[in-house]
Amino acid sequence: MSLLEVKDLQVRVEEREILHGLSLTVNPGEVHAIMGPNGSGKSTLSHVIAGKPGYEVTGGQILFRGEDLLEMEPNERAAQGVFLAFQYPVEIPGVTTWNFLHAALNAQRKARGEDEISSPAFLKKVREVARSLNIPQDMLKRGVNVGFSGGEKKRNEILQMALFEPAVCILDEMDSGLDIDALRIAADGVNALRSPERAMVVITHYQRLLNYIVPDFVHVMSKGRVVKSGGKELALELEESGYAQFEDAA
Amino acid sequence: MNVVAKTETGRALGDAFAVVRDRLPGEGKIADQRRQAFEAYERSGLPHRRIEDWKYTDLRALMREVLPLAASPDDAALSRARAVVQARAIEGVRRLVLVDGAFAPDLSDWQDLEKGLSINPLRLALEAGDEIVATQALASDVANPMIALNGAMATDGVVIDVAHGTVLTQPLHIVHVASGTAPASTFTRSLLRLGRDAGVTLVESYLAADGAKAYQTHDGLVVAIGDNSRLDHVRLVEDSVDAFNISSATVSLGAHAHFNTFGLTSGGHVSRYQLTVTCAGEGSTVETNGVNLINGKQHADTTLFMDHAVPHCASREVFRAVVDDRAHSVFQGRIIVRPDAQKTDAKMMTRALLLSDDAEADNKPELEIFADDVTCGHGATTGALDESLLFYMRARGLPEKEAQALLIQAFVGEAIETIASDELREVAIAAAQRWLQARA
């Protein structure tokens, strides 16, 4: 059984259809890149997989380990192992990163019928992960993402990914707003999390990110559909020729 | 001739006073003072929406009946009170308990007092004819009808004196418990007098014993903070959801005195807290902060009057309201800067969070400035929880109510953080947690 199966997905936002029958199959251990011009529906796909309100699914389905993902609340999806790294992580003043991560991890464990993790055990775990990602300890004491730089916010997303150990990670435009050094650090963090059990879907506008996170498959989206799929060489091809050819194809 | 139109309730209050006045503690001048206070009340009667200060809390509409004065608590009432007092006990405090409006000596820790501290039941002071106590405790602000009514009717309370130079290490905790099984009303007044260079930490809570339901609590606190003295104060209204709580605090500060107060209202069907603070000595500083956490059909009104009477004083108000279901929160904050009060620094910020479409929050900040060299400001906002934050949190695994709870905690945390005393902050956080847990 595939880990994540998107079948003929049709999605509307406020009367306008954004996805017109999108299909994608992701197996454990695979890294898929989804590329496409602005407005092709890449972020909509990531939002619908995570369960963001405001999107109306008018056709098709999304199966996660064979179960209907669209029937689950966003928090249930997270507990089942779906993780979305946000393009624009929000700032939550007054809620410390530490407190938030502890509450979220315990909520996920509770939903899976596992025991809650104690404060000392959590502290140990989160410190280890933070160290491996070069995240200063004092960031954990601050409000979630409050006053963080773009690079820090993205690293905080990867910290959460490492902590929650999801089965599938959707990385939405992880490279946006990052300089080359910040990008390298973030990509190293992601690569460290690649494993035979875990799948990744890397959404990006630019080929650049894929120099650091090398995908197994590349899909090109245009106007709400996947118009071409191939291996990692497809990304290089796009770098050469641009998206224009596909916009015509769609 | 009294030309004020009266409601049934207003008339019933007049009858109640006529019935009980001979049984109220204190004779002679004290009884005269009560009569004058009642006449002051009668001149306006039960406040209603056409009186600007009561626009959002129309007692003629909300207070449908006057309940008989509570009977002295019997053994059963005391034992129910003891249970709730113990369940809500705060570690390390000196507890003073009023049950159904009467000081409960056996539930109170009022022996073996620290040097410089004296505690007496108001009833005893009035029965002994202590006119100074009577004047200070009962006569505050009779221009306000409900404070006047409270002064006329008050049967008991605590009188606390802290001598010059005495800084109490142990916080005081005044606990008001409604314990009678028959609906009744209570009228209490307490007096706290701090000498010079003194310091006190005071908690007040309002609780219902098991079985106490639609009762009416009328309470007043009168505080005088001497020069260079400091009062840290937390007030928790956790009455039963069908109770009334109409209370006031009247506080004056001497020179270089400091007052840090925080009020949290999560209980009661209808509550109104009128806090009047006067900076009467130069260089005094005031922080008055609060939180309303209400749902169902609750109505909670905090009305603050900050009076800058002299120069070089500072005041800060941070108020937060979280309103769910069909509840109604009111915050009125008036700051007056008198002509002589140059160099006043006064700021007020109030924010309301509406958790449902039917929730209502009225924020009314008012500044009246009669001096020209001052720094004053105020702001008010009302809004809902940020959907993008909620989605982010849910996408990390938090169920909606838990995500909301974290955001609500952060929202009220901005007011709770202003509590200077660590132990009082913990007390306030615990009360906010109780509300959030009951909601989850």
Give dist(CA B360, CA A166) in Å, integer. Answer: 41
B169 close contact with A: CB closer than 8 A: no
Between residues 260 and 289 of chain B, which touch chain A (CB distance below 8 Å)?
A: none
Give residue B256's pLDDT. Answer: 98
Give residue A186's pLDDT. Answer: 87
Rg, Å, chain A Cα set? 18
A156 close contact with B: CB closer than 8 A: no
pLDDT tens figures, A212-229: 999 999 999 999 999 999
Does B121 score more than 80 pLDDT?
Answer: yes
- DSSP H/E element including B310: none
**Using the beta-carbon criterion (under 8 Å), do A105 and B397 form an inter-chain contact?**
yes
At A187, list the tokens.
């990509």
Give dist(CA B31, CA B27) in Å, integer. Answer: 5
Mean pLDDT, to the nearest integer, of B7-20?
A: 77
In angstroms, what separates the C-alpha of B62 from chain A's closest C-alpha?
36
- CA A100 vs. chain centroid, Å, equals 19
Q: In terms of C-beta density within 10 A (0-12 exposed, 13-18 middle, 19 or more buried), how is residue B215 classed?
A: buried
Q: Please report, for chain A, how many H helices and E strands are present, in that order.
A: 10, 12
Query: Would you say A42 and A9 are in contact if contact means Cβ atoms under 8 Å apart?
Result: no
Give dist(CA A48, CA B391) in Å, integer. Answer: 12
Contacts of residue A88, Cβ cutoff 8 Å, sequence gap at least 6: none
Alpha helices in B116-228 (DSSP H): 122-127, 131-138, 145-153
In this predicted complex, what is the ipTM?
0.96
**For A79, which of B393, B397, B411 is closest by C-beta distance?**
B397
Query: Would you say B264 and B235 are in contact if contact means Cβ atoms under 8 Å apart?
Result: yes
Mean pLDDT, to the nearest integer, of B116-132?
A: 95
Query: Would you say A32 and A85 are in contact if contact means Cβ atoms under 8 Å apart?
Result: no
Mean pLDDT, to the nearest integer, of A92-99?
A: 93
In angstroms, what separates the C-alpha of B260 from chain A's closest C-alpha?
22
Give residue B153's pLDDT. Answer: 93
B143: helix, strand or coil:
coil
Task: Give the closest residue to A50 by CA, choosing from B388, B384, B407.
Answer: B388
For residue A92, give the amino acid letter: I
A66 close contact with B: CB closer than 8 A: no
**Using the beta-carbon criterion (under 8 Å), do B413 and A100 form an inter-chain contact?**
no
Rg, Å, chain B Cα set? 21
Query: Would you say B265 and B273 are in contact if contact means Cβ atoms under 8 Å apart?
Result: yes
Task: Give the closest residue to A111 by CA, choosing from B404, B396, B397, B392.
Answer: B397
Give residue B6's pLDDT. Answer: 62
Give dist(CA A71, CA A52) in Å, integer. Answer: 13
Q: Scanning the structure block, which residue is given the tokens 């990602």?
A: A133
**Using the beta-carbon criterion (under 8 Å), do A111 and B410 form an inter-chain contact?**
no
Beta-bridged to residue B178, according to DSSP, are: B208
**For A95, which of B387, B395, B406 is closest by C-beta distance?**
B406
Give dist(CA A9, CA A18) in Å, integer. Answer: 10
pLDDT band at A248 (very low <50, low <70, confident <90, very high): low
Largest CA distance in chain B: 70
Alpha helices in A88-232 (DSSP H): 97-111, 119-132, 137-141, 150-164, 180-192, 209-212
Give dist(CA B427, CA B438) in Å, integer. Answer: 17
Does A77 score more than 90 pLDDT?
Answer: yes
Mean pLDDT, to the nearest integer, of B364-370?
A: 94
Mean pLDDT, to the nearest integer, of B26-31?
A: 91
Provide the pairing of β-strand A56-64 with A67-68: antiparallel
- DSSP H/E element including B111: none
Does B388 score more than 90 pLDDT?
Answer: yes
Give the lowest-confidence range in A100-109, A218-227, B56-65: B56-65
Chains A, B: CB pairs < 8 Å: 74
Does B212 score more than 70 pLDDT?
Answer: yes
Residue A109: closest C-alpha in chain B: B397
Does B384 score more than 80 pLDDT?
Answer: yes
Give dist(CA B80, CA B437) in Å, integer. Answer: 24
Residue B411: closest C-alpha in chain A: A94
Burial of A208-228, coded b for 16+ CB within 10 Å and e otherwise, reads: ebbebbebebbbbbbbbbbbb
Query: Would you say B119 and B190 are in contact if contact means Cβ atoms under 8 Å apart?
Result: no
Task: Give the closest residue to B204 by CA, choosing from B186, B187, B192.
Answer: B192
Task: Give the closest residue to B95 by CA, choosing from B221, B105, B168, B72.
Answer: B105
For residues B309, B313, B314, B317, the Cα torsion angle rounded to the nearest 10 degrees is -30
Q: Scanning the structure block, which residue is given the tokens 């955001």?
A: B407
pLDDT tens figures, B398-416: 999 999 999 999 999 999 9
Full set of structural domains in chain A with CATH? 4-249 (3.40.50.300)
**Averaged pLDDT of chain B:** 93
pLDDT tens figures, B232-287: 999 999 999 999 999 999 999 999 999 999 999 999 999 999 999 999 999 999 99
**DSSP-assigned states of every residue in A205-222:** SSSTHHHHS--SEEEEEE
Query: Would you say B264 and B236 are in contact if contact means Cβ atoms under 8 Å apart?
Result: yes
Other Cβ atoms less than 10 A from the Cβ of B355: the count is: 18
Mean pLDDT, to the nearest integer, of A111-125?
A: 94
**Using the beta-carbon criterion (under 8 Å), do B397 and A164 form an inter-chain contact?**
yes
Mean pLDDT, to the nearest integer, of B353-373?
A: 95
**Using the beta-carbon criterion (under 8 Å), do A75 and B399 form an inter-chain contact?**
yes
pLDDT band at A139 (very low <50, low <70, confident <90, very high): confident
A53 close contact with B: CB closer than 8 A: yes
CA dist B212 to A63, A174, B73, B186, B237, Å? 54, 58, 12, 13, 15
Does B2 score more than 60 pLDDT?
Answer: no
Query: Would you say A20 and A200 are in contact if contact means Cβ atoms under 8 Å apart?
Result: no
Give residue B67's pLDDT. Answer: 86
Task: Give the closest residue to B137 by CA, choosing from B26, B217, B55, B243.
Answer: B26
Provide the pairing of β-strand B285-294 with B314-323: parallel
Looking at per-residue pLDDT, the higher value among B1 and B323 belongs to B323
Task: Give the closest residue to B203 by CA, choosing from B418, B423, B409, B416.
Answer: B423
For residue B203, give the amino acid letter: V
Does A78 score more than 80 pLDDT?
Answer: yes
- List the single best residue of A90, A110, A122 to mutate versus B (max B Cβ within 10 A): A90
Give residue B63's pLDDT. Answer: 86
For residue A1, give the amino acid letter: M
Largest CA distance in chain A: 57
pLDDT band at B1 (very low <50, low <70, confident <90, very high): very low
Query: What size, in residues, is chain B?
Result: 440
